Amino acid sequence: MPGLSDTYDKLIFSELFQSRSRPISLASIELEEKSVASIKVECSKCHKVYQIPEERLPKMESVSFPCPACKGIILLDRRATNGAEAGGEAKKGDALKAKILRTVKELPPMPQTIFKAREILGDPKSNAQEVAKILETDQAIAAKVLKMANSAYYGLMGKVSSIQHASVVLGYKTLAEIVTLAGGSAVLGSTLEGYDLASGDLWRHSLGVAFGSKIIASRKFPALANDAFAAGLIHDVGKLVLDPYVKERKEAFQAFMAGEQRPFLLAEKEILGFDHGEIAFELCKAWNVPQALLSAIRYHHAPAKGSGNDLTAMVHTADVIAMMSGIGVGMDGLLYEMDNKCMQALGLQEADITSLMMEMVESVENVATEMTSI
């Protein structure tokens, strides 16, 4: 009876059952249709179709292996997820993105108070009473803002008694920064097992990119400093959404990364069909994040696609510097390169990187310490 050879049967499927911690080699043997019950699997990269006998596959588990034809990763998810996907290759691309976006509502939202307050703070015709009125509708945010305003980092220990007082003493730009920090801390502190990020790692990395973006902006585009800070702080929120899906497919990611050195971003695109920047863009739209910030969030790993957007160049540059400095990098922190066109557009030289890194690290350490006590 045509089908799997004895050699393949013993070698490959013994590995499937005994160890799923390393890439599985299919050698050069192609699977042929058998008369027994089988599962049809199509490689999403080269679209070659294989028939795998169902009896040879573990039930209610996820396995991954390289396609014999193109070496792309095939992920076979046997777990029943909401009554779908079991018994076939896991969803990816548009189908998976649609599923993910349906679950976005399960995430803690970025408090709308933050964006309303930032909008008022950006209006030169507004006044301190308007700012206070908005922030005081969210007592948790208001409390964090007051504690941050009274921290050693902002130099006003014990001197700020109210939100209205803070807006007068600190000024709108500094208050906008504190408001953004207060909102971000509630969302970005999670442990992300898929990305190998411990609790607080994503928050520290996001702080680094926020401060780095602000520092870069203040040197050449001071009017963009507040937007640069906000975009930098939430540029990686897509990882919050993708983490459970990365974790489910951890073997496929490990197999992809085990060979030649490639950025984790490419693994996201290969295995999921999109990257965390795309999901961050969709999430931020759902959160009603201002349009000015969306391009920087969407293209922080591909600034050339951002149509020369200065904010995108700042966030990209700060992101790479933060990863170079080792701030909260996790599984995703290797092999990213700086886009030299961004350096040129921002008027930065190689010699500037070290000083930017030092300022970034110092700011992160100071603020992270202050925020842990809030």
pLDDT digits (tens, 9 = 90+) for 327-355: 877 665 656 788 989 999 999 998 899 99
Span 185-198, mean pLDDT? 85
Cβ-based neighbours of 1, under 8 Å, separated by 6 or more: 34, 35
| CATH of the domain spanning 106-110+187-372 | 1.10.3210.10
| pLDDT value at residue 36 | 52
> Is residue 4 classed as helix, strand or coil in its secondary structure?
coil
For residue 284, the model assigns a pLDDT of 87
Per DSSP, helices labelled H in the chain are 6-18, 93-102, 112-121, 128-135, 139-149, 163-170, 172-185, 201-220, 225-234, 238-248, 250-258, 264-271, 276-286, 291-298, 310-324, 340-345, 350-372
pLDDT, tens digit, 9 for 90 and up, residues 6-54: 333 333 333 333 333 333 344 333 333 334 566 777 776 677 877 777 6
From-to residues of CATH 1.10.3210.10 in the chain: 106-110+187-372
What is the value of pTM for the model shown? 0.71
Q: Which of 14-18, 22-26, 258-262, 276-280 has the highest mean pLDDT?
A: 276-280
**What share of the chain in percent tops pLDDT 90?**
25
Maximum average pLDDT range among 67-71, 147-151, 282-286, 359-363: 359-363
Over residues 228-257, the mean pLDDT reads 90
